[in-house]
Amino acid sequence: MEQPRDPSATSLEAMPEIAEPRFRRRPGCAHHTSRSVGAVLSRLVPDEPLVRYTPPVTEIVPGITADPARAFGKPVIAGTRVPAATVLGLLAAGRPEAEILAEYDLTTEQIRAVFRYAAWLASQQSLRAS
């Protein structure tokens, strides 16, 4: 017969069905060892510090970069997080350049970089009349 449990007890000792393991650990079995992940990693690479991988930043055209850590790798104006497609879309919709410069805190050189990017994209596209 099961012993009544004290409802105010919160320790594992008060709950024997949780405190006792259901399965025996097999000695020497890798997934049943009590070693921490850090201990295992320190055995594999004892003297080398862990180095975080940083993906490279790609400059598509001067002033436009693609960085996987920014804007999901979409082309942005260098030094900002403003997507080049956003600025190009605003210009194509007829927004005045001065308004875009003020809204996104850009320079005229950065707007020219967006135009260079658009020209580069157009040169990459090959369409054939059928």
Same structural domain, 89 and 36: no
Q: Can you give the pLDDT at residue 126?
A: 78
Give the per-residue pLDDT at 121.
92
**The domain that contains 109 carries what CATH number?**
1.10.10.10
What one-character DSSP code corresponds to residue 100? H
pLDDT in the model for residue 18: 53
d(CA 60, CA 121): 10
Q: Whole-model pTM above 0.85?
A: no
Distance spanning both ends of the chain, measured CA to CA: 85
Which DSSP helix (H) or strand (E) runs through 16? helix 16-19
Same domain? For 36 and 65 the reply is no
Q: Which domain holds residue 95?
A: 58-124
Q: Specify whether 34 is located in the same domain as 81.
A: no
Across 81-97, average pLDDT:
96
Do 35 and 62 sit in the same domain of this protein?
Answer: no
Q: Where residue 14 falls among pLDDT bands split at 50, 70, 90? A: low
| pLDDT tens by residue, 32-74 | 555 566 655 555 555 666 677 777 889 999 999 998 888 888 9
The domain tally of the chain equals 2
**80 and 36, same structural domain?**
no
